[in-house]
Amino acid sequence: MAGELWVAVMVAAAGTLLMRLLPLVWMQRRLAREDSQGGTAAMPRWLGVLGPVMIAAMLGASLVPAAGTLNAWVATAVGGCVTLLVWWKTKSLGWPVVSGVVVFGVVRFLNFVVI
Amino acid sequence: MSDQAISAGGRAWVSGVRDATPLLGGYIPVAISFGLIANQAGFSSWEAIIISLVIYAGASQFLFVGMVASGAPLWLVVVMTLLINARHLVYAPNLAPWLNGNRWWFWLMHGLTDQVFALAHTRLPALPPSERLGWFTGAMLLAWFSWVGGTALGAFVGQELTGRWPLLNDVMPFALPALFVVLLAPRFTSWLWAAALGCAIVVALLFAANGLPNMAIPVAALLGAAVFFVMQSNTRAEV
């Protein structure tokens, strides 16, 4: 990896850490100032909206299958539905992801076997 | 420190590790596919591991190696990586009421990923203050090491795995959208949120499907947020 690429990695790493850390410092100072122990201080509304819509955008972008075939799209749709169903049943993180990946794989595998 | 305090701290660590164990199902497959994809994008195995170690932010790492491989300017790569990670700005302030002034919290924020935040937001309020630091440390370290370990697995033996089972390379990346589905599903709590999130998903999907994956996330997120605020103001106006 070239020198400038290392710099890019380190800047991205430092920036990510600061984005996780600085808001904590800010909020702790704000809480101390307000002397509101145990309460949840109000966040700017736009910040609370931007978080979930960013994750939604990541989901949309990640849904496009690398293969780009009809079978890959069908596998994505079926895998996504199974992920959602298993989440609905279990309300957990691990099992829905594992189930979705397995079903996606089965649909893709069937395509290889049939064709 | 008394034996009782050490014992309580140890229990809290174990409790954190136990609570974070379900995260492995989501982290390891995605990390393996990251190791593989980073290799395919021209990064060495150790470079992929270091990226996972220091950046430690799933989706943005995929974007980082993808943009570098496509020859994008490095300043744009960094800006886009940070833009994707900007959602992390909202996490720590939400946890702040349950964190004390211990300086270790600042370093532990490196592990404040989407999933660790979701877990901590639920568990920290239920724990005694003396156990929160230990719990978070255990949960955060397990998640971090599983991510780095999964990357190493994908980077070192991923090629062999995909050589023997080529379909694996095609299947493993699906762990990423599956993970986002699980993170996003609980957010559909009203028509307002459904419209905003649905808009962001569809717009990002259309951009990415039409060969504009780098623009997909910021544009879709801004449009989704715009839908949220426009619909909210219309609802208030009607009332």
- Nearest CA to CA, how far is B211 from chain A (Å)? 10
Look at residues B175, B178, B161 and name the one whose alpha carbon lies nearest to residue B39. B161
Residue with more model confidence, A115 or B187? B187
Report d(CA A36, CA A59) in Å as an integer: 37
**Packing angle, helices B45-54 and A3-34, rounded to 10:** 10
Residue A42: predicted pLDDT: 57
pLDDT at A70 over 90: yes
**Contacts (Cβ under 8 Å, ≥6 apart) of B21:** A94, B142
Residue A19 pLDDT exceeds 80: yes
- The whole-number pLDDT of residue B142 equals 96
Distance CA A114, CA B160 (A): 25
DSSP string of chain A, one letter each residue:
--HHHHHHHHHHHHHHHHHHHHHHHHHHHHHHHHT-TT--PPPPHHHHHHHHHHHHHHHHHHTS-SS-SHHHHHHHHHHHHHHHHHHHHH--SHHHHHHHHHHHHHHHHHHHHH-
Question: Of the ranges A27-31, A108-112, B171-175, which one carries the lowest mean pLDDT score?
Answer: B171-175
Place of tokens 């990251």: B34
**Using the beta-carbon criterion (under 8 Å), do B203 and A60 form an inter-chain contact?**
yes
For residue B8, name the pLDDT band (cuts at 50, 70, 90): low
The confidence band for B4, taking pLDDT boundaries of 50, 70 and 90, is: low
Residues B72-77: what's their mean pLDDT?
88
Q: Provide the pLDDT for residue B217.
A: 76
For B145, what's the count of Cα atoms within 13 Å in the CB-facing half-sphere? 9
- Residue B2 in this model has a pLDDT that exceeds 70: no
Q: In angstroms, what CA-CA distances link B127 with A19, B120, B130, B131, B194?
A: 26, 10, 8, 6, 32
Residues B2-31, mean pLDDT to the nearest whole number:
76
pLDDT beyond 60 at A54: yes
Q: Pick the residue with more confidence: A55 or B134?
A: B134
As a whole number of angstroms, the distance between CA B101 and CA A23 comes to 14
User: How many degrees, rounded to 5, is the angle at CA A92 between CA B217 and CA A108?
Assistant: 65
Q: Do A58 and B23 touch (CB under 8 A)?
A: no
By the CB < 8 Å criterion, does B99 face chain A? Answer: yes
pLDDT of A51 > 90? The answer is no
Per-residue pLDDT, A53: 84
Q: What is the mean pLDDT of chain A?
A: 85
Q: pLDDT digit string (tens) for B133-160?
A: 999 999 999 999 999 999 999 999 887 8
Averaged confidence pLDDT in chain B: 86
What is the per-residue DSSP string for B25-92?
HHHHHHHHHHHHHHHHTT--HHHHHHHHHHT--HHHHHHHHHHHHTT--HHHHHHHHHHHHGGGGGHH
pLDDT (average), residues B206-227: 87
Is B105 an 8 Å CB contact of chain A? yes
**B215: three-class secondary structure by DSSP:** helix
Contact (CB<8Å) B177/A63? yes
Q: Which of residues 49-68 of B touch A (CB under 8 A)?
A: 50-51, 54-57, 59-60, 64, 68
Q: Are the Cβ atoms of B106 and A67 closer than 8 angstroms?
A: no
Chain A closest-CA separation from residue B15 CA (Å): 17
Helices B58-69 and B45-54, packing angle to 10 deg: 140
- Residue B216, pLDDT > 90, answer no
According to the model, what pLDDT value does residue B111 have?
96
* Partner-chain residue, chosen from A43, A57, A105, that has the shortest CB–CB distance to B216: A57
Q: What is the pLDDT of residues A20-40, one digit of tens each?
A: 999 999 888 888 877 655 555
pLDDT at A11: 97
Model pLDDT for residues B80-139, shown as the tens digit of each residue: 889 888 878 878 888 888 898 899 999 999 999 987 887 787 788 889 999 999 999 999
